[in-house]
Structure 1
Amino acid sequence: MLVAVHTLVAGHRLFDVLDLIEDDPRVQIMFTVAPDAFNHPVHRHLSDLGALVLPWEQATKLTFDLVIAAAHGGLSELHGPILMMAHGAGRGKYSAEPERGGPVLARKTVYGLDSARLARDGRVLASKILLAHDAESDILLHQCPEAMGVAVVVGDPCYDRLVSSLPHRDRYRRGFGVTSGDRLILVSSTWGADGLFGNTVDLLPRLMEQLAGTHFRVGVVLHPAVWSAHGVRQVRAWLRDCTEAGLRLVDPTHDWRAAVIAADHVVGDHGSVTAYAAAIGRPVLSLAGVGVDRLRPGSAQSIVLRQADRLDLSGRIAEQFGVARPLDRDTVVQAITSRPGQAGTLIRRALYELLRLDEPGRHRGPAPVPDPPSTSTLVVVAS
């Protein structure tokens, strides 16, 4: 079995899936770093985890009983049945698709459910395409009808694992150095010019300045592509004043979900982390207009940004956190997954069907996410 890891983000999702099958002695799992602009931290991360990593050139010459991936680059070069899944909270973002050799189309397509990524030369690449929500089936029918025969709605393994981890919140908070009297503000930014980190450069300095000397603590989860695109040294330099003032940085190679569960409030944008935070009941604040036009109406990200309270950086920030309340959690969850609590069972079934192996026993259910590293009060970000 080959795991094609394009980015750290894709890797986080794939390791949730590997937990469903990795202990089966009939299955040998190998990894490869797949083509992607942001793949350069992946090899070191896989090596640190003790994974058996094949060079891409070698992986493209072998035939596997199963290939799994959470992104699309280079999959047409791999041999074997492919299981394809999303690496975020469903498929909630638009992308403008160019015609073959022509200009960008005016119409919007939903990223990851389109023929340009799912098919090559009229052939659907995947043997199974995992969907989180029934609504994605409707989109797939419109954008890539030839893939309907291999699509299966399985729910969202990331959401299910967040839920299984909620009872461990106090332990995660201790791991981040948050005491019983503290309130943890977590800032989440996706990558790109319309993410919070790229769009609102004064957000973190203002939070640290206004909340200094209070019972509020501030942490930040930056999309791994932020680190990859700018370089670890540069991101550290940009945030040096904030980290010296006590800002907690979450290492992009570590599981961000512990920070979301530990948080009391989340300041977020149109990224998946913000949607997941709202889905587990964390009050979410956003900055007006950031990223909304990129979102599919009805997606969890769209619902969260349209319903979240707006953070006014010119006002009294501590008071705004004091009155912020959670969104309608059920509404957000229903937009993220059509099979809450079932993703592990359904994905495991799909894996064994493609491997043509009998599914052993009963899966133990999603494990809680790992505790933060002991250095999380001042996290060292891996290069």
Structure 2
Amino acid sequence: MLFAVRNATALHRLLDAAPALADDSAVVPVFTLVPGSDFDADALAALDGRGARCVPWDEARATSYDLILAASANGVGELSGPLVLLPHGAGFGKRVPYARGADSANGLSPDQLLRPDGTPVARLHALPHPDERARLAAEAPAAARPAAVVGDPTLDRILESVPRRARYRAALGTGGRRLVAVLSTWGPESLLERRPELPARLAATLPYDAFQVALVLHPNERARHGEFALRQRLARLERAHVVLAGGYEEWGAVLVAADCVITDHGSTALYAAALDRPVVSAYDGGGELLPGTPIARLLRGAPYLDDARPYAPQLERALTAHEPGVVRAHAGGAFAEPGHALERLRESLYGLLELPPPEAPAQPAPLPPPRPDTGARVAAFAVESRVRGNTAEVTRHPAAGAGEGGWLAAEADWAGSRYVQGARLLYRYAAAGEAPGWCAEALAAYPVCRTAAVLTPDGGCAVRTRGGPLRWLRFLPPARGSAPDPVAVLCGVHAWLAEHPEADGPGERPGRAAGVRCRAGGRTAEVVAVSLPR
């Protein structure tokens, strides 16, 4: 059995469908790279470490196979064996620019699905929704003959992963923030081409304690640039700690973890819609999007992200206005048989093989937790603070992407030297016994520093201001909801002490919570003074 891979996107689709053929010793899968794609660089990378057998194209052409699985009809005409064609994406919403029909969809074009003699290239064309079969029948009845509706194995993997949402958010370090996934397809009308500054602007302007930003790119973008060149191009996003989701599996986990998505006209948005995530459009129109398709209807009903207005209020409105089920209804036009794609596909495949299917059910594998390559934790923040009475409210942004204004807080042994030298608040993570000496050393070594602090493993904190005593504090979480990040609370403590230099300090005396509260990202912690550790 041959898996014919045109590019990375096709391989990912085939791997998601592979469990339909699992648990059968009679099925021996091999892979080959179909030549001719402009995006075949690293096309087989998802097979690394999986022990998959790959054969050269010339060997694949010279061999007759019992079954050939592909997620693109392009270039497979030289192979021998019954071809099963899987969808390359969802919704079939993009035009084929070179097709004979003005409204031919990429993946449904007769030019792609029929041989020169007018016969179908595929023995089975597995489709995710009956509307696609109807579109085929209307445009090219011959191309519709091998079509069968089985559902979408990739969607089923994503739906199977929903119970893991908390794990994914923990792996991403999201915490109590809202995760905003920015989705970009490939090509001249993609978000990354038309609005290349958007991910960086989101990271620079959205409050760090309220929002986290992730970028999901089409695999063709990785293939076009190469991984190294792409990361060079997006280096500022890494410095701003935007999560760059991996091209295989990780993007689906990010969608599950996300609170909302910002998207162009790529089909990834339909998977977010199937999860009923709020969708915000960043698509400015063009010739690629086919009207009347599921993605076109989804974008028509979505609020538009306006670069001329602050992003945070627009996203807050999208989250607040979201009505459960409304967005998911748009995905209903792209996906049928949710949760049953593998069993439907298995039934069709074994019918072609004329073999009984395995007794064990075909089940989608949940997506693994993401492993975001965002470097270490954010180690330097640009902070804006406001103190009213006994409440200090702080707004933080990663210093690498922030503009002018506010003051700096930096992790002394992790942030870059220019941040450490310019920080009013320096902090580090260390044992309580190191706090007195280190705080004194930091204040002596860095003239700009006004507060030095040590966050201890037990959740405590030692704080010393310039000219002031060493104070031992503890941060109490709210009775309901999640607590703010301890460093955000520490920023609030610094701001409060700067406004009250003569005060005894937060908590007034050991053991008493005196009402000094720190707010960040809509979450509050109360600061309590504690006795000196023995």
Check whether TM > 0.5: yes
Q: Distance in 1 between matches of 2:2 and 2:350?
A: 14
1:353 corresponds in structure 2 to 351
Question: Structure 1 residue aligned with 2:366, among 353, 357, 368?
Answer: 368
Instruction: Write out per-residue CA displacement over residues 257-292 of structure 1, whole angstroms, 9 at most, x where no aligned residue.
Output: 00001111111111111111122111111125245x
CA contact (8 A) 1:76 1:125 kept: yes
1:108 corresponds in structure 2 to 103
1:15 corresponds in structure 2 to 15
CA contact (8 A) 1:66 1:82 kept: yes
Secondary structure at 2:20 match in 1 = coil
1:169 corresponds in structure 2 to 165
Question: Structure 2 residue aligned with 1:239, among 227, 234, 238?
Answer: 234
Q: Distance in 2 between matches of 1:144 and 1:378?
A: 51
Is residue 273 of structure 1 aligned with residue 274 of structure 2?
A: no
Instruction: Write out per-residue CA displacement over residues 225-280 of structure 1, whole angstroms, 9 at most, x where no aligned residue.
Output: 11111222322122112211111111224431000011111111111111111221
1:347 CA displacement = 0.6
Instruction: Write out per-residue CA displacement over residues 316-348 of structure 1, whole angstroms, 9 at most, x where no aligned residue.
Output: 211111121446134223211232222111111
**Bigger CA radius of gyration:** 2
Q: Distance in 1 between matches of 2:282 and 2:240?
A: 23
RMSD, aligned CA: 1.9
CA contact (8 A) 1:113 1:144 kept: no
Secondary structure at 2:369 match in 1 = coil
Secondary structure at 2:9 match in 1 = helix
Secondary structure at 1:130 match in 2 = strand
1:137 corresponds in structure 2 to 133
Matches within 5 A, 1:1-383: 1-35=1-35, 36-98=37-99, 107-122=102-117, 123-179=119-175, 181-291=176-286, 293-325=287-319, 326=322, 328-373=326-371, 375-378=372-375
CA contact (8 A) 2:73 2:121 kept: no
1:18 CA displacement = 0.4
1:92 CA displacement = 2.1
Q: Distance in 2 between matches of 1:340 and 1:213?
A: 36
CA contact (8 A) 1:69 1:83 kept: yes
Q: Distance in 1 between matches of 2:20 and 2:99?
A: 37
CA contact (8 A) 2:12 2:46 kept: no
Q: Distance in 1 between matches of 2:364 and 2:292?
A: 27
1:184 CA displacement = 1.0
- Shifted more, 160-169 versus 62-71: the winner is 160-169
CA contact (8 A) 1:248 1:378 kept: no
Secondary structure at 1:242 match in 2 = helix
Residue type at the aligned position of 1:147: A
1:113 CA displacement = 1.8
Q: Distance in 2 between matches of 1:298 and 1:378?
A: 42
Quick one: structure 1 residues 162 and 66, their matched pair in 2 at CA, closer, same or farther if it must change by over 3 Å? same
CA contact (8 A) 2:276 2:328 kept: no
Q: Distance in 2 between matches of 1:89 and 1:184?
A: 23
1:219 CA displacement = 0.9
Structure 2: gaps spanning 5 or more residues: 377-534
CA contact (8 A) 1:285 1:308 kept: yes
Q: Which has the higher strand share?
A: 2
Instruction: Write out per-residue CA displacement over residues 31-56 of structure 1, whole angstroms, 9 at most, x where no aligned residue.
Output: 00112211120234324332100011
- Shifted more, 188-197 versus 355-364: the winner is 355-364
Quick one: structure 1 residues 191 and 209, their matched pair in 2 at CA, closer, same or farther if it must change by over 3 Å? same
- Shifted more, 15-24 versus 167-176: the winner is 15-24
1:112 CA displacement = 1.8
1:209 CA displacement = 1.3
Q: Distance in 2 between matches of 1:265 and 1:132?
A: 24
Q: Distance in 1 between matches of 2:132 and 2:208?
A: 47
Q: Distance in 2 between matches of 1:151 and 1:254?
A: 27
Structure 1: gaps spanning 5 or more residues: 100-104
CA contact (8 A) 2:160 2:365 kept: yes
Secondary structure at 1:64 match in 2 = coil
CA contact (8 A) 2:17 2:154 kept: no
Instruction: Write out per-residue CA displacement over residues 362-381 of structure 1, whole angstroms, 9 at most, x where no aligned residue.
Output: 415323212113x54449xx
Instruction: Write out per-residue CA displacement over residues 126-172 of structure 1, whole angstroms, 9 at most, x where no aligned residue.
Output: 11011111111121112221133211111222222222211110011
CA contact (8 A) 1:92 1:111 kept: yes
Residue type at the aligned position of 1:134: P
CA contact (8 A) 1:96 1:108 kept: no
CA contact (8 A) 1:175 1:376 kept: no
Residue type at the aligned position of 1:20: A
Q: Which has the higher helix share?
A: 1
1:102 corresponds in structure 2 to none
| Deviating 4+ runs (over 6 angstroms) | none
Which structure has the higher relative contact order (CA within 8 Å, separation 6+)? 1
Secondary structure at 1:314 match in 2 = coil
CA contact (8 A) 1:172 1:262 kept: yes
CA contact (8 A) 1:86 1:112 kept: yes
CA contact (8 A) 2:23 2:358 kept: no
Quick one: structure 1 residues 298 and 362, their matched pair in 2 at CA, closer, same or farther if it must change by over 3 Å? farther
Secondary structure at 2:4 match in 1 = strand
CA contact (8 A) 2:99 2:111 kept: no
Instruction: Write out per-residue CA displacement over residues 77-129 of structure 1, whole angstroms, 9 at most, x where no aligned residue.
Output: 10000000112113222223455xxxxx6x32122222211121222111101
Q: Distance in 1 between matches of 2:170 and 2:260?
A: 17
Secondary structure at 1:335 match in 2 = coil
Q: Distance in 1 between matches of 2:232 and 2:120?
A: 45
- Shifted more, 217-226 versus 279-288: the winner is 279-288
Aligned length: 370
